[in-house]
């Protein structure tokens, strides 16, 4: 059987206009599993082109309207034919393990699209830092209609409600099957602590509330927001140890806005 032709679109933003080493490492990992990568940024990248060009096939710059969904929509409008499409961004550190094993684990899952984690904030949805659409999804009218409908919103909350939540909702309503690598139910079944049980039932962002549980179940990334802001005030020492055990260089962990009280994603 021929190997699937997999493409990636990487949405990048940096408040200081830099392409940081952790982004370069992420792109290198994508290069191992994707035939083509399109890098879209709302930040100047001229000083980083020499680092980017061996790892990506196309560099696009655009205004920061619509956030990641605006960047992805622009590239999808001219997307070449492929079997799988990966949408990811610069909001995560990693991967902490080979992406080839991640795709191998998901290969037998019967679905049209998948992500790594799910979230019940506002409504059920796959979190958008890493999404994979298979050929059945790419060929669907619902997929095309959604991306043609993306507007250049400049309010983050509006983008989350209309597009991050809206994408999953719209695809499911149109008959597509979506799955998460690490569904909430798996965490629940393996023994959530009593104080976190209400969260596992559908409240809160588990990438910041339960990072070690997610890593234990195969999550290959750590959210930038977790290490930068730690909004749930979890103990980060086990997370740092997990990075060390995975061989992830701590020097790669740096932030564009280390004192920010709010996050872009």
**Does the pLDDT of residue 42 top 60, yes or no?**
yes
Instruction: Tell the residue number behind the tokens 């399109």, with chain if given.
Output: 38
**pLDDT tens, residue by residue, 119-169:** 988 889 999 999 999 999 999 999 999 999 999 888 888 898 899 999 999
Question: Residue 34's closest CA among 94, 88, 105, 115?
Answer: 88
**Domain locations in the chain?**
6-252
What pLDDT does 121 receive? 83
Instruction: Show Cβ contacts of residue 151 under 8 Å, excluding neighbours closer than 6 positions.
Output: 66, 162
Average confidence (pLDDT) over 113-124: 91
What pLDDT does 256 receive? 85
**pLDDT tens, residue by residue, 7-31:** 999 999 998 889 999 999 999 999 9
CATH top-level class for 6-252? alpha beta
Instruction: Tell the residue number behind the tokens 């009593």, with chain if given.
Output: 194
Paired strand residues for 180:
115
Question: 29, 95 in Cβ contact below 8 A?
Answer: yes
């Amino acid at each position: 059987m021929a190997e699937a032709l997999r493409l990636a679109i990487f949405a990048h933003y940096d408040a200081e206009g830099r392409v940081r080493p952790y982004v370069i490492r992420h792109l290198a990992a994508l290069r191992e599993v994707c035939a083509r990568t399109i890098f879209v940024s709302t930040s100047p990248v001229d000083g980083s082109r020499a680092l980017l060009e061996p790892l990506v096939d196309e560099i696009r710059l655009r205004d920061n309207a619509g956030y990641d969904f605006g960047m992805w929509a622009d590239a999808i409008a001219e997307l070449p034919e492929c079997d799988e499409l990966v949408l990811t961004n610069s909001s995560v550190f990693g991967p902490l393990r080979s992406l080839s094993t991640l795709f191998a684990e998901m290969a037998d899952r019967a679905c049209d699209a998948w992500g790594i984690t799910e979230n019940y904030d506002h409504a059920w949805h796959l979190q958008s830092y890493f999404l994979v659409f298979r050929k059945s999804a790419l060929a669907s009218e619902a997929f095309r209609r959604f991306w043609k409908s993306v507007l250049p919103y400049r309010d983050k909350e509006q983008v989350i409600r209309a597009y991050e939540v809206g994408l999953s909702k719209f695809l499911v309503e149109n008959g597509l099957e979506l799955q998460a690598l690490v569904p909430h139910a798996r965490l629940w079944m393996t023994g959530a602590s009593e104080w976190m049980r209400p969260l596992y039932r559908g409240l809160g962002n588990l990438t910041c509330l339960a990072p070690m549980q997610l890593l234990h179940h195969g999550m290959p990334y750590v959210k930038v927001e977790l290490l930068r802001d730690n909004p749930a005030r979890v103990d980060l020492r086990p997370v740092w140890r997990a990075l060390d055990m995975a061989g992830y260089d701590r020097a790669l962990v740096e932030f564009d806005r280390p004192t920010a009280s709010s996050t872009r994603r």
